[in-house]
Structure 1
């Protein structure tokens, strides 16, 4: 078994359905494309402003907020590009078109979605509960930046996609989502070793046992959140099953294999 086959099998990537990138349970493909294009424009402007206001590239990349916001940008950019091409294809050919090309584009998009929808909840919660002190002294620009990367990220990446998308989460992907968080935590130690300061105050080990509690608590909450979203996604897809079929009649031209042996939570989703 090759490396690719091993990864596909154990991450269950072969269960991905590419039409979920460009279709919605509640709106048609054209409306979905337009909404994501508007979101992409807002995120792009905010991303550029925050980047330009940073002291350096290193100063920008060391914050988890900025990394996750860039992830939202990448997700919306790829989704919008897929949608633009999708709506230009004749309706009778769309179901076939989404299955063409290298499947790894779709696999990567699915994994990116899993991280975006989870981190877009984690970041606002952590920021507004632990890091948003001194709001009264914020300048208008600081207010705009903080709302964009600590609130609008949740609107676009979590709430918006939860309402609009047809994606489902795969339990095994929680390991990758947690793995990315772990790598970031390790990076903060490197930043501390080189700069002598912690990126976020609550990560500082000078607090003693409470620091360990923060690390463990965030890890536990991450898994709880992932599986809560997992069940919400499945319930949503089942609830909107009939509406999804009406919004996406083009999918009827080519059967979509959505039933997987031994995976009952994904049965009968459209």
Structure 2
């Protein structure tokens, strides 16, 4: 009997239990333990927030362009980047605290039981107790919120790279880096945005992007076209010059098609880099005695399974 294809949470990278190896809150790098990783994510969250607020404030008070701030895909994707770093930093720091608290309890227990030989049953109980105590809040949240988090991750490792490529290839000019404010604003939103994405791609244990994400994340880009043309109708200008049909509407279609193809390429390249990073990290962990501790890379196919018929839920 043929197996029916179905859309499940697991097929979108939200298995049950969620993130059992704590990949979303750990790093394969030895100098980035959870607490440090959480702090770095927090600093990036603070920087992106300050950048967004300062640019919005100056656009509104000085350049009189505040009403059009949210009309630009650059601004929307940067806000998404900021939101992700705030969310991930909170989850990572919560995980680091859980690990620290458990170690404190274990140290106290070991001190009290020093000299007593542990039975096999005692070791099993300790293992189960450890699994129950170490977790971060997102693991206990409803599955729709878990799905939103992993989709947000996919967007922040893909959108910034597309924004950077499109800006420097089509939109930049000799005035782009003229003046302190212009240089800082454009570097922050069109260079550092991709640097922050590369940090998440290469320096964390987050598994490869599921192919199922390619559709939903692209839909957001497609819907943005509506925002661009609504802006044209209500505010009288095109947010991006290549969206102006003018006397060559076919050129706009070509640009849109090119961005769609570019999106698919960027998605595939990012997925490939993360897959390579996971494989390299797995080899490193397999050569370590502590390969079983929290943060060890999970199997690559866990995020790519089509269905888990025994435990999946419909989206």
- TM-score with structure 2 length normalisation? 0.73
User: Cα distance 1:45–1:14, how it changes in 2: closer, same or farther (>3 A)?
Assistant: same
2:135 counterpart residue number: 97
1:29–1:248 contact (8 Å) kept in structure 2:
no
How far apart, CA to CA, are the structure 1 residues paired with 2:48 and 2:221?
22
How far apart, CA to CA, are the structure 2 residues paired with 1:87 and 1:77?
15
Does residue 164 (structure 1) correspond to residue 203 (structure 2)? The answer is yes
Q: 1:196 aligns with which of 236, 245, 248?
A: 236
How far apart, CA to CA, are the structure 2 residues paired with 1:163 and 1:78?
19
Deviation at 1:9, TM superposition (A): 5.7
1:23 counterpart residue number: 26
1:94–1:251 contact (8 Å) kept in structure 2:
no
1:11 counterpart residue number: 12
Which has the higher relative contact order, 1 or 2, with Cα contacts under 8 A spaced 6 or more apart? Answer: 2
Deviation at 1:14, TM superposition (A): 2.6
Of 111-120 and 227-236, the range deviating more from structure 2: 227-236
Q: 1:81 aligns with which of 62, 81, 90?
A: 90
Deviation at 1:130, TM superposition (A): 1.2
Does residue 39 (structure 1) correspond to residue 39 (structure 2)? The answer is no
- TM-score with structure 1 length normalisation? 0.84
Deviation at 1:120, TM superposition (A): 1.2
Deviation at 1:134, TM superposition (A): 2.7
1:28–1:248 contact (8 Å) kept in structure 2:
no
Deviation at 1:132, TM superposition (A): 1.2
Unmatched runs of 5 consecutive residues or more in structure 2: 1-5, 104-129, 307-315
2:294 counterpart residue number: 251
Deviation at 1:261, TM superposition (A): 10
User: Cα distance 1:144–1:37, how it changes in 2: closer, same or farther (>3 A)?
Assistant: same
Of 200-209 and 91-100, the range deviating more from structure 2: 91-100
2:23–2:298 contact (8 Å) kept in structure 1:
no
Cα deviation digits, residues 51-98 of structure 1 (max 9, x gap): 112236531100100000000000000001001111111254587423
Does residue 225 (structure 1) correspond to residue 266 (structure 2)? The answer is yes
Query: Which structure features the higher share of helix residues?
Result: 1
1:24–1:165 contact (8 Å) kept in structure 2:
yes
User: Cα distance 1:76–1:248, how it changes in 2: closer, same or farther (>3 A)?
Assistant: farther
Of 219-228 and 28-37, the range deviating more from structure 2: 28-37
Q: Please tell me whether Structure 1 or Structure 2 has the larger radius of gyration of its CA atoms.
A: 2
Deviation at 1:250, TM superposition (A): 3.5
Cα deviation digits, residues 89-125 of structure 1 (max 9, x gap): 1254587423323233322111001011001100111
Aligned residues: 258
How far apart, CA to CA, are the structure 2 residues paired with 1:262 and 1:117?
18
Of 95-104 and 215-224, the range deviating more from structure 2: 95-104
